[in-house]
């Protein structure tokens, strides 16, 4: 039993699969953004580590809230896109 030849997807199949894969990745990334924003909002609402108090007492609370929410949303987007990519990686291994 020698090594398996590498899996090659045909160009026609790749072009047919292009839009659904991108749509799936965008939707999972957007759901990750939403999950990250909800997590950051929960941290501020529950005042974990007095983050909510610091944001409320800031001279510019909108900027302070964005400083907390944006990194959580970006991490959520990356995690969502990675999780969304897993079924396609398994499909290509077969």
Reading the chain (94 residues) residue by residue, the pLDDT tens digits are 566 666 666 667 666 777 888 888 899 999 999 999 999 999 999 999 999 999 999 999 999 999 999 999 999 999 999 998 888 767 666 6
Please state the domain extents for the chain. Answer: 32-93
> DSSP states of 13-58 as a string?
HHHHHHHHHHHHHHHHHHHHHHHHHHHHHHHHHTTGGGHHHHHHTS
Q: Which long-range contacts (CB under 8 A, 24 or more apart) does 16-24 make?
A: 21/88, 24/84, 24/88
Q: What pTM, to 2 d.p., does this model score? A: 0.76
The overall average pLDDT reported for the chain is 86
- Residue 36's Cβ-count burial label (10 Å; 0-12, 13-18, 19+) is buried
């Amino acid at each position: 039993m020698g090594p398996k030849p590498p899996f090659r997807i045909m160009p026609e199949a790749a072009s047919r699969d292009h839009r659904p894969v991108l749509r799936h990745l965008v939707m999972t990334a957007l759901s990750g953004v939403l999950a990250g924003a909800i997590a950051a909002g929960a941290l501020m609402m529950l005042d974990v580590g007095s983050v909510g108090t610091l944001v409320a007492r800031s001279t510019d609370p909108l900027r302070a809230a964005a400083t907390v929410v944006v990194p959580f949303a970006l991490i959520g987007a990356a995690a969502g896109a990675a999780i969304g990519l897993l079924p396609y990686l398994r499909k290509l291994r077969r």
